[in-house]
């Protein structure tokens, strides 16, 4: 599910980088707030990252078929380390994969961490797996919880890939085809991940049950963490919405064409009122109001504003990340009183 740079546009890459930086800053703050000594987490997270690497090399042979499946690791990490530590560990694993193995581009890093880290640790784990085992840990609950969390998590993740590729507008792949291609494959992958995760968690729970209680997993904080999860989700939606609107008027061909293809002719936004609104908004805030997609007559593609847009986004990214940190610091300050 690793995205390559070639399929992204600078704006989408930048936007996803913003989101990832924001979530990472939040995770670090959350870990540091923890009452247990946090310095022991550093070697644990480090070595668990190496474990995920090694575990991804294991060929789990699937009974009945002749093929084998592999572990992704995000869900397992968040079950054993908690969502924040799990997310940061996934982020380091993905960085090393991107740098040393070329698995996933460097610009696409933010998107990859989001698709494979955030979705698993902050959506699949707390919203699906945890409710299942809240009443108590049994092998059956572990199994059902893991499978559902893994499948849904991977579906969301691969759907994000589809959206990110589509919004970037660098391919001709229509939405419908892409979805029909990605989702079933990741359904199968999700099933394997769910089963394998359940098997490993079950083993750990039987052999060393004390490891299942990661520090910070205290009863009563669950409602607080739900709020935090929702906050982060809202921030992400806003980010992605911004990116979407910035691009809505710039790539009418790609997005609308494929949507038109899927819906059989009509534009997705009926009446075009919303479309016009976004177009006017973008005109107002954009520094390069003549940012337009040139059709295939000229050899040039998007204009200079494409690059400037990307760089501007990155600067914006830094500013938003700082703002998020300031926000969470303020929240922490008010909670201490």
Q: Which residues ranging from 17 to 46 are in contact with other proteins (CB under 8 A)?
A: 24, 28, 37-40, 42-46
Nearer to other proteins by Cβ, of 207 and 287: the residue is: 207
Query: Cα Rg for the chain, rounded, in angstroms?
Result: 21
Q: Does 264 bind other proteins (CB under 8 A)?
A: no
Structure tokens at 301: 């593609």
Q: What is the 3-state secondary structure (H, E, C) of the chain?
A: CCCCHHHCCHHHHHHHHHHHHHHHHHHHHHHHHCCCCHHHHHHHHHHHHHHHHHHCCCCEECCCCCCEECCCCHHHHHHHHCHHHHHHHHHHHHHHHHHHHCCCCCCCHHHHHHHHHHHHHHHHHHHHHHHHHCCCCCHHHHHHHHHHHHHHHHHHHHHHHHHHHHHHCCCCCCHHHHHHHHHHHHHHHHHHHHHHHHHHHHHHHHHCHHHHCCCCCCCCCHHHHHHHHHHHHHHHHHHHHHHHHHHHCCCHHHHHHHHHHHHCCCCCCHHHHHHHHHHHHHHHHCCCCCCCCCCCCCCCCCCHHHHHHHHHHHHHHHHHHHHHHHHHHHHHHHHHC
Query: Shortest approach of other proteins to residue 203 CB, angstroms?
Result: 3
| Minimum distance of other proteins from residue 110's CB (angstroms) | 12
User: Between residue 47 and residue 66, which ones bind other proteins under the rule CB under 8 A?
Assistant: 47-51, 53-55, 57-63, 66
Work out which of 204, 259, 279, 281 binds other proteins, going by CB under 8 A.
Answer: 204
Question: Is 299 a binder of other proteins (CB under 8 A)?
Answer: yes
Tell me if 68 contacts other proteins by CB under 8 A.
yes
Minimum distance between the CB of residue 324 and other proteins, rounded to whole angstroms? 14
End-to-end CA distance of the chain: 44
Q: Does 99 bind other proteins (CB under 8 A)?
A: yes
Q: Which bin fits 64, alpha (ψ -120 to 50), beta or left (φ > 0)?
A: left
Min separation Cβ 226 and other proteins, Å: 25
Please, what is the minimum distance in Å from the beta carbon of residue 73 to other proteins? 10
Q: Please give the residues from 207 up to 226 whose contact with other proteins meets the rule CB under 8 A.
A: 207-208, 211
**Which candidate, 197, 192, 199, 204, places its Cα nearest to that of 73?**
197
10: contact with other proteins by CB under 8 A: yes
Residue with smaller CB distance to other proteins, 155 or 302: 302
Within residues 115-174, the interface with other proteins by CB under 8 A covers: 165, 168-174
Tokens in use for 28?
């670090």
Of 127 and 144, nearer to other proteins (C-beta) is: 144
Angstrom distance (rounded) from CA 78 to CA 80: 5
Residue of the chain from 18, 19, 79, 98 that contacts other proteins (CB under 8 A): 98
Which range, of 114-122, 124-132, 203-211, 220-228, touches other proteins by CB under 8 A? 203-211
Q: Which of 136, 265, 296, 333 binds other proteins (CB under 8 A)?
A: 296
Instruction: Please say which residue, 155 or 168, places its beta carbon nearer to other proteins.
Output: 168
CA distance 44 to 57: 20
Q: Which two tokens stand for residue 149?
A: 């969390």
Sole binder of other proteins in the list 265, 266, 271, 300 (CB under 8 A): 300
Please, which residue, 60 or 127, has the CB nearer to other proteins? 60
CB under 8 A: which stretch of 114-122, 202-210, 220-228, 275-283 binds other proteins?
A: 202-210
Q: Does 71 bind other proteins (CB under 8 A)?
A: yes
In the bound complex, what is the minimum distance in angstroms from residue 141's beta carbon to other proteins?
15
Please give the size of the binding site for other proteins, defined by CB under 8 A.
90
Query: Please, what is the minimum distance in Å from the beta carbon of residue 328 to other proteins?
Result: 14
Instruction: Tell me which of 115, 158, 160, 302 binds other proteins, using CB under 8 A.
Output: 302
């Amino acid at each position: 599910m690793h995205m390559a740079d070639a399929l992204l546009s600078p704006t989408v890459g930048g936007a996803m980088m913003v989101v990832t930086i924001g979530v990472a800053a939040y995770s670090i703050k959350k870990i540091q707030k923890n009452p247990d000594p946090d310095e022991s987490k550093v070697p644990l997270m480090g070595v668990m990252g190496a474990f995920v690497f090694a575990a991804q090399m294991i060929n789990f042979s699937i009974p009945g078929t002749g093929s084998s499946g592999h572990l992704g690791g995000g869900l397992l990490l968040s079950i054993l380390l908690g969502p924040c530590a799990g997310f940061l560990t996934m982020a380091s694993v993905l960085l090393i994969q991107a740098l040393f193995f070329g698995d996933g581009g460097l610009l696409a890093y933010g998107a990859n961490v989001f698709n494979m880290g955030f979705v698993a640790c902050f959506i699949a784990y707390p919203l699906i797996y945890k409710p299942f085992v809240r009443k108590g840990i049994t092998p059956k609950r572990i199994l059902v919880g893991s499978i559902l969390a893994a499948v849904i998590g991977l579906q969301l993740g691969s759907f994000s890939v589809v959206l990110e590729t589509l919004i970037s507008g660098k391919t001709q792949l229509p939405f419908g085809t892409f979805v029909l291609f990605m989702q079933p494959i990741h359904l199968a992958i999700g099933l394997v991940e769910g089963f394998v995760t359940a098997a490993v968690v079950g083993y750990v729970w039987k052999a060393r049950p004390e490891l299942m209680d990661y520090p910070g997993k205290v009863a009563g904080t669950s409602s607080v963490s739900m709020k935090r999860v929702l906050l982060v989700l809202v921030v992400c939606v806003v980010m992605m919405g911004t990116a979407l609107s910035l691009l809505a008027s710039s790539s009418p061909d790609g997005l609308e064409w494929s949507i038109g293809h899927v819906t059989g002719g009509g534009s997705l936004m009926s009446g075009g009122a919303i479309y016009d609104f976004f177009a006017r908004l973008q005109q107002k805030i954009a520094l390069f109001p003549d940012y337009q997609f040139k059709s295939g007559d000229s050899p040039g593609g998007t204009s200079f504003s494409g690059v400037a847009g990307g760089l501007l986004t990155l600067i914006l990214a830094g500013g938003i990340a700082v703002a998020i940190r300031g926000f969470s610091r303020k929240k922490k300050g008010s909670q201490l009183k």
